[in-house]
Amino acid sequence: MKIARLIFVLFISLSTAEDGAGLPPPRIPGGFVDAQGKAGFFANAGQGIDAVNLATGKVLWNSRQGRWPILSRHGWLAVILPDASQNKALRVRFLNPLDGSLIAESGSILLKGGVRIGADAVGDEKEISWGDRNGWVSLSAWSPLPQNGDKTSRWDRLLQLRSVAQSIVTSGIMVSERPSPPDSGMIYIDPADGSHEPGPIKGAPSFSLVAPELPKGWKKDGHSSYSSGGSWGDKPNPFRIFDGLIGFFSCDYTAKRIILNRWKSLEPLPPVNIIEGMEHVPIISMDGRYAVLTSYVKGTNRAQLFDLYTVKPFTPLADLPWFQEGFRFPFAVIGPFLYYVTETRGPEGAEKTQINRTLVALDWEKGKVRWTHSLAPRYDYPPVPGAR
């Protein structure tokens, strides 16, 4: 076991060096990406995992070692599967992203809240979620990157698995008991051997990155509104762009234009005029570097792509064709492709409706869809009166 662990640590150390000084893998809607940005990992309709070449759409390998991918880091892909031996438990497996072979597996993990993970749970870029009349559960994962140069801590490269769950007691179509507050839990898992311990643990790093802050002394402009979550409001929602650059969008009512405000180390940089007009809505890419500005003018939908790190005034990277039916954000740009997911209604049953999901790869420079890939569907259930 010690020899195997040493080999794994050497493997992920070399992989991290190849990643680009420990940078996290790119992000993609509907799944996860390897460290080089060449392969994506997605849950498929056959209750397994597909590894997809992001340039061609070709399936590189598929595996039944897991049901849903939940994080890609440091030379491994973490996947979740229900524990066949316990109805309300799961297991975490770590796969080699090159071929899907097994690196390590956790033991049985029992979730707080007493809710099982259904086989029709949906996994996307943020979480694995599932629910029915008896309750709901969501799972998300994080693994902190080394922050101290060559120094490492016990937390580096560990998988943090967070769960939030709630049981619901129903009678007929109504909730028969007032639901108690959701139960949340945290588990730390070592990808080298699958060993795990419950949290919270004193001294452990925060789950995910800390949200960026506005520059000290920032004040609202009396003739501007600010982009926040796909709409305009009174306060901006700052986001990370790239290489320590942070920004937010504002709409100047006087000049009638959209402006990108940027700063680094809390020092403001000159604002950049992005586009004329006030009818545009900026949609930020998953990594924060790109934005699509959409508008509807004279009966026509319009979309333009901007690189927020290298942007010049009034200069988009490309005019995009309008998205396919059922598109949803977020989106990601990796190399020459812009990736997004569409959702369309499928068969309707007495208890649930199937929602078909498809990953779309758009060549943003040529304006053509190069390939699509079917993802595992999700399901809509009728609401339970009195539940969340």
Return d(Cα 79, Cα 94) in angstroms, integer.
Answer: 6
> Mean pLDDT lowest for which of 1-10, 53-62, 191-200?
1-10
Do 194 and 215 lie in a common domain?
A: no
Q: Domain limits at 298?
A: 211-320
- What's the pLDDT score for residue 15? 42
Q: Which of 30, 143, 25, 85 is nearest to 375 (CA)?
A: 30
- What's the pLDDT score for residue 309? 95
Cα dist from 348 to 30, 65, 131, 134, whole Å: 23, 30, 17, 21
- What's the pLDDT score for residue 261? 93
In a domain, 339, yes or no: no
> Mean pLDDT lowest for which of 97-106, 196-205, 215-224?
196-205
Return d(Cα 323, Cα 304) in angstroms, integer.
Answer: 11
Return d(Cα 132, Cα 338) in angstroms, integer.
Answer: 34
Q: Specify the length of the chain in residues.
A: 388
Do 191 and 229 lie in a common domain?
A: no
Which of the listed residues 320, 347, 379 is the one where a domain comes to its end? 320
Neighbour-count burial of 348, counting CB atoms closer than 10 A to its CB (0-12 exposed, 13-18 middle, 19+ buried): exposed
Q: Residue-wise over 252-264: b if at least 16 C-beta within 10 A, else e?
A: beeeebbbbbbbe
Do 181 and 250 lie in a common domain?
A: no
Which residue is associated with the tokens 């977020």?
A: 330
Q: Which of 102, 112, 107, 130 is nearest to 376 (CA)?
A: 130
Q: Is the pLDDT reported for residue 162 higher than 50?
A: yes
In a domain, 381, yes or no: no
In a domain, 25, yes or no: yes
Q: Which residue has the higher pLDDT, 129 or 326?
A: 326
In a domain, 221, yes or no: yes
In a domain, 373, yes or no: no
- What's the pLDDT score for residue 59? 98
Q: Is the pLDDT reported for residue 375 higher than 50?
A: yes
Residue 18 pLDDT grade (very low, low, confident, very high; cuts 50, 70, 90):
very low
Q: Is the pLDDT reported for residue 20 higher than 50?
A: no
Q: Around 185, how many Cα atoms within 13 Å sit in the side-chain half-sphere?
A: 16
What single DSSP character describes residue 212?
Answer: P
Q: Which residue has the higher pLDDT, 140 or 120?
A: 140
Which of the listed residues 303, 320, 337 is the one where a domain comes to its end? 320
In a domain, 23, yes or no: yes
Do 135 and 61 lie in a common domain?
A: yes
Do 177 and 79 lie in a common domain?
A: yes
In a domain, 329, yes or no: no
Return d(Cα 80, Cα 159) in angstroms, integer.
Answer: 12
What single DSSP character describes residue 210?
Answer: P
Return d(Cα 348, Cα 342) in angstroms, integer.
Answer: 18
- What's the pLDDT score for residue 382? 66
- What's the pLDDT score for residue 137? 85
Q: Is the pLDDT reported for residue 10 higher than 70?
A: no
> Mean pLDDT lowest for which of 9-18, 96-105, 232-241?
9-18
Mean pLDDT of 240-254: 92
Whether 287 and 26 have beta carbons less than 8 Å apart is answered as yes
Do 50 and 190 lie in a common domain?
A: yes
pLDDT above 70 as % of the chain: 84
> Mean pLDDT lowest for which of 42-56, 99-113, 201-215?
201-215
- What's the pLDDT score for residue 353? 87
Whether 136 and 129 have beta carbons less than 8 Å apart is answered as yes
pLDDT in tens, 122-161: 888 888 887 766 778 889 998 876 555 545 666 777 899 9
Which of the listed residues 284, 300, 320 is the one where a domain comes to its end? 320
Do 20 and 147 lie in a common domain?
A: yes
Residue 265 pLDDT grade (very low, low, confident, very high; cuts 50, 70, 90):
confident
**Mean per-residue pLDDT of the chain:** 84
Q: Is the pLDDT reported for residue 113 higher than 50?
A: yes
Do 38 and 118 lie in a common domain?
A: yes
Do 36 and 177 lie in a common domain?
A: yes
Whether 333 and 360 have beta carbons less than 8 Å apart is answered as no
User: Euclidean distance between the first and final Cα of the chain, in Å?
Assistant: 46
> CA angle, corner 46, sides to 76 and 139, nearest 5?
50
Specify the CATH number for the domain of residue 6.
2.40.10.480
Q: Is the pLDDT reported for residue 16 higher than 60?
A: no
In a domain, 376, yes or no: no
| The model's pTM | 0.86
pLDDT in tens, 266-284: 678 899 999 998 788 899 9
- What's the pLDDT score for residue 5? 43
Q: Is the pLDDT reported for residue 179 higher than 70?
A: no
Q: Which of 139, 147, 95, 93 is nearest to 118 (CA)?
A: 139
Return d(Cα 39, Cα 50) in angstroms, integer.
Answer: 10
* The two structure tokens encoding residue 18: 């190849």
pLDDT in tens, 64-110: 999 999 999 878 999 999 888 887 789 999 999 999 999 999 989 88
* Number of CB atoms found within 10 A of residue 220's CB: 12
pLDDT in tens, 282-297: 999 999 999 999 988 7
Do 274 and 190 lie in a common domain?
A: no
Do 190 and 266 lie in a common domain?
A: no
Do 166 and 239 lie in a common domain?
A: no
Domain tally for the chain?
2
